[in-house]
Amino acid sequence: MTRWGMVIDLDLCTGCAACEVACKSENNIATVSPGQAEMGRAISWMKVQTELEGEFPETSAVFYPRPCMHCDNPPCIKVCPVGATFIGDEGIVGQIYPRCIGCRYCANACPYIAKYFNWYGPERSESERRHLNPDVSVRQAGVIEKCTFCHHRLQKAKELARAEGRPMREADYQPACVDSCPTAAITFGDLDDPNHRVAELKEDPRATRLMEDLGTRPKVYYLAPRE
Amino acid sequence: MRQDADALLANLPPDERVLLRPLLVTSRGFRVTAALLGAVTLWGLFAYYLQVRHGLGRTGLNRPEYWGIYIICFVFFIGISHAGTLISAILRVSKAEWRRSITRSAELITVLVIGFGAIQPIIDLGRPDRVLNVMLHAQLLSPLLWDVMSIGLYFMACTIYLYVPMLPDLALIRDLGIKAPRLYGFLAAGYQDTPPQRARLEKVIGVLSIVVIPIAVSVHTVIGWIFAMTLRPMWHSTIFGPYFVMGAIYSGIAAILVAMVILRKAYGLQEYFKDIHFDYLGRLLLVFSLLWFYFTFAEYLTAFYGGEPAEMRAFWAKISGPFAVPFWTMVAGCFVIPLALMSRRATRTTKGTFVAGIAVMIGMWLERYNIVVPTSVNPRWEIESIGHYLPSWVEFSIMAATFSGFILLYMLATKFIPIVSIWEIKEGREESVKLVADRVATYLPNEPAVAAEESS
């Protein structure tokens, strides 16, 4: 069975945040004012977290790009009172924006704080509006949103493969963050398909997942830094 | 107008004269208070209008502080609602005769406060326009949905439980014709107080007072579970169900006491809310202050002893961190003050219970604050800790409006409903004294002479 997943090599990540930017433009993520960002209301489906180690000047930083973990046992979907967040056949955890009532219970249930709320409606200039991605719906005020593994790209890839009468290839479906990473730190594919690189990388001795002990079974793996 | 009312009242028997007086005579103080409360409520409605128009951005909430004042008030108000029904049902079931004059005022708190509590999560919604989705797309695994069901059921049960025991009083007002004849004719629903009707009424009340107890317990259990079912530090706790039920009853008793002190003074009910009532309810408050300490101590000791890092961040944030002031104020309000006042007979008076009641209510509001906020700002993933939450004026205004709206409706209700059950007082005078004497006699062993005769 197909289980889409991601492996992020922390040794390769430079913390450049190209993935964040690519994600924002790909997924029509609303920008907020600096004041709102200061309040903790910026939306960043993919977010590069920085963990500092050691005392200055002997400091080193580890960067954790954090998308939605697309857990196989997602704590967010159980608590949603209206079934607006769900897990699909291929393991992608999705969000139904027109159904979401904005109670933010799922956001509280997610231990990775991967869910974002639209505190205000999006404000876009005319020029910005012209460059919205037509494949991704625009979210209104008052709903939850989060990383979808660029699910719209999967749909396109499936259609393309069907049109060309061939099975889907690994390269057909890659999320925007993966495409944009200059050091190729992020690998994406089917965790259950032995021909996909992620299937092999997830078995790497360095491979670990965030808060594995919670039993959420995330489909995003991290390759721990080698020192 | 005033003279008419006085003349009307003068012809009534003494109980009716005192208890129906508020329905006919409205003081200046009442009008002024009502106007002030109305103004605060309107202000809060304006704040809510702004929030609906512009979005939840008008609050101080953020990520990961997703829940704030509204959810705290939700838990608080639904907690208060355990005042009436549960207390009055337990007292009825246990045949506590001193309940007669206090049940009505307590049940009225319940019904009104459930409404004000239940709207809080709706105020908190990002999309209140889609609230019906909880029925159209009900997802039964969600504790929030369990809540919708149990609060809905509770509201219905409590409304019936308030209304049914009110029928004889409504019929009395209808028959006296002292106020709005058509309204009371409708409300009394043809009740004539014939012996078979009275017997049926008592039977229904008996059934209802048993039925509402498990429903009431379920309501706050499920509210505790909303938090406990998540994996968050200091929320994921098995004692949250019973802990919340206990806290709810505790704050409910405090609310009854405060309401009774005010009603007693405002409507001259000294003969109905007697010192003995405050003494007994004060003892109940004392028991719950000890229970509160026991539960809270158990909860915090367990978290502390385990010492899991994520739990400890929330733990220390409360004990000595940014939330130390609300935490220790809560301990003072929920434990130190009520314990000190209620453990001595000399302070188990109207004044003492009033102070303790206010302290407990503040303390219990803070308890919910100390559950919701420190955990929210200290998520399991330390990188995302933000450590602060500053509610906006919109949130404070809506909270103030909720309090004022509730008090206002309660005040207005006392103008239409006798706040002390007239027929139950009469029944107490006419029948209970003998019934209780007979009942006590049945508790005792037969007299020796009779017993000897029987055995021979």
Q: How far is B296 from chain A (nearest CA, A)?
A: 23
CA-based nearest distance A162→chain B, Å: 33
pLDDT at B453 over 90: no
Which candidate from A41, A78, A100 shows the least CB-CB separation from B63?
A41
Write down the architecture of domain A4-223 according to CATH: 2-Layer Sandwich (3.30)
Chain A contact set for B63 (CB, 8 A): 40-41, 107, 113, 116-117
Q: 3-class DSSP state for residue A200?
A: helix
Can you give the pLDDT at residue B454? 63
Decide the pairing of beta strands A186-190 and A4-9: antiparallel
Local confidence pLDDT in tens for the 227 residues of chain A: 899 999 999 999 999 999 999 999 999 999 999 999 989 999 999 999 998 888 888 888 889 999 999 999 999 999 999 999 999 999 999 999 999 999 999 999 999 999 999 999 988 889 888 999 999 999 999 999 999 999 999 999 999 999 999 999 999 999 999 999 999 999 999 999 999 999 999 999 999 999 999 999 999 999 999 87
List CB contacts of A187: < 8 A, sequence separation 6 or more: A6, A7, A8, A9, A178, A197, A198, A201
DSSP string computed for A32-98: --HHHHHTT----SSEEEEEEESSTTS-EEEEEEE-----SS-HHHHH-TT--EEE-TTS-EEE-TT
Q: Model confidence at B3, in pLDDT bands (50, 70, 90)?
A: confident
Beta-carbon separation of B141 and A49 below 8 A = no
Residue B361 domain flag: yes
**Whether the Cβ atoms of residue B252 and residue B82 lie closer than 8 Å to each other:** yes
Domain that holds residue B266: 21-428
A102 → closest Cβ in B126, B134, B142: B126
Q: What digits encode the pLDDT tens for the residues A39-62?
A: 999 999 999 999 888 888 888 888
Which of A84, A102, A111 minimises the CB distance to B125?
A: A102
Residue B58 belongs to some domain of the structure: yes
Q: Which positions in chain B touch A76 (Cβ < 8 Å)? A: none
B286-321 confidence digits (pLDDT tens): 999 999 999 999 999 999 999 999 999 999 999 999
Which residues in chain B touch residue A139, judged by CB atoms under 8 angstroms apart?
none
- In this prediction, residue B387 has a pLDDT band, given cuts at 50, 70 and 90, of low
Instruction: Check A101 against B127: CB less than 8 A apart.
Output: yes
Question: What's the number of domains chain B is made of?
Answer: 1
Cβ of residue A181 closer than 8 Å to a chain B Cβ? no
Predicted confidence (pLDDT) at residue B455 exceeds the cutoff of 70: no
DSSP 8-state class, residue A30:
P
Cβ of B381 within 8 Å of Cβ of A210? The answer is yes
A83 and chain B in contact, CB less than 8 A: yes
User: So what's the pLDDT on residue B332?
Assistant: 97
- Please give the mean pLDDT across all residues of chain B: 92
Q: Which of B70, B127, B144, B311 to mutate to test the interface with A (most CBs of A within 10 A)?
A: B127
Q: Does position B92 have pLDDT exceeding 70, yes or no? A: yes
Neighbours of B383 (CB within 10 A): 12
User: What's the confidence (pLDDT) of residue A52?
Assistant: 86
Domain residue ranges of chain A, discontinuous segments joined by +:
4-223
Q: Is the pLDDT of residue B337 over 80?
A: yes
Least CB–CB distance from A81: residue in B63, B66, B139: B139
pLDDT of residue B450: 64
Residues in chain B within 8 Å Cβ distance of A214: 231, 380
Least confident of B12-21, B155-164, B210-219: B12-21
Contact state of B126 with A51 under an 8 Å Cβ cutoff: no
Assigned domain for B433 exists? no
Residue B1 pLDDT > 60, yes or no? no
The yes-or-no verdict on residue B322 having pLDDT over 70 is: yes
The CATH number of whichever domain residue B190 belongs to comes to 1.20.1630.10
Could you give phi then psi for residue A145, rounded to 5 degrees? -140, 165
Is there a domain that residue B454 lies in?
Answer: no
Contact yes or no for B126 and A108 at CB 8 A: no
Nearest CA in chain A to B140: A81
Q: Taking Cα atoms as reference points, which of B194, B192, B163, B190 lies closest to residue B416?
A: B163
Q: What is the pLDDT of residues B389-414, one digit of tens each?
A: 899 999 999 999 999 999 999 999 99
Q: Report yes or no on B10 lying in a domain.
A: no
Per the DSSP assignment, residues forming a β-bridge with A85 are A95
Q: What is the pLDDT of residues A137-169, one digit of tens each?
A: 999 999 999 999 999 999 999 999 999 999 999
Supply the pLDDT for residue B33: 96
A41:B57 CB<8 A: yes
- A105:B381 CB<8 A: no
The answer to whether B289 and B250 have CB atoms below 8 angstroms apart is yes
In this prediction, residue A171 carries a pLDDT of 93
Whether B418 is in a domain gets the answer yes
Q: In this structure, is residue B412 part of a structural domain?
A: yes
**B139 closest CB neighbour out of A64, A80, A119:** A80
**What's the CA angle centered on B149, arms B144 and B154, to 5 degrees?**
120
Report whether pLDDT(B142) > 90: yes
Chain A residue closest in CA terms to B121: A103
Is position B215 within any domain?
Answer: yes
Q: Calculate how close chain A gets to B62, using CA atoms only, in Å.
A: 5
Average pLDDT over residues B157-175: 93
Q: What is the pLDDT of residue B249?
A: 94
Asked if B56 and A102 come within 8 Å (Cβ–Cβ), the reply is: yes
